[in-house]
Amino acid sequence: MNTEICKHQPVYFGVININVSERTIGSVDVWRCGVCKKKFCEEKQLGIESITDIVGMPKIEVDEKWAVIVSKLQKGKDKWKLVKLKENGTIKHETLNEKVLSLKIVNFKVEDDQHWSFLIEDNVNKAIEI
């Protein structure tokens, strides 16, 4: 089914825990449309409540994948961010001091000395140590 005309009926699919030194500091909730199988994700920082509703599901293009970018320089909640990656190109990544970096993307992965990334689809129901 064409995802662009699907009205989407997302159901809860799983979670990825984001750990630092084996302690969970946040998570990404993953929802999946039961009709077209498209995935929707929501970033959750520990201690900050958020309410997911289907109407508010973030949009993702057909040529993008959900991923988490991890900064080797930052700490705590500023260390990671849920993003949408295209297969190749660059992504604008805003840092704590409001500097906007342009990170290189190769095969749905960040290639950078100070950042790395992982895909949501490969890690559902796992804990990722950042």
Stretch that binds Zn ion, among 1-9, 41-49, 67-75, 99-107 (CB under 5 A): 1-9
Q: Is 6 near Zn ion (CB under 5 A)?
A: yes
Residue 35 or 54: which CB sits closer to Zn ion? 35
Q: For the chain, first and last CA: distance in Å?
A: 36
Q: Is 8 near Zn ion (CB under 5 A)?
A: yes
Residue 8 or 77: which CB sits closer to Zn ion? 8
Residue 36 or 130: which CB sits closer to Zn ion? 36
Encoded one letter per residue, x for contact with Zn ion by CB under 5 A and - for no contact, window 20-39 reads -------------x-xx---
Residue 57 or 130: which CB sits closer to Zn ion? 57
DSSP string, the chain: --TTT----EEEEEEEEEEETTEEEEEEEEEEETTT--EEEEEEETT------GGGPPP--TTEEEEEEEESS--GGGGEEEEEEESEEEEEEE-TTSPEEEEEEETTEEE-SSEEEEEGGG-TT-EEE-
Stretch that binds Zn ion, among 8-16, 63-71, 91-99, 103-111 (CB under 5 A): 8-16
Residues forming a β-bridge with 32: 11, 39
Residues near Zn ion (CB under 5 A) are 6, 8, 33, 35-36
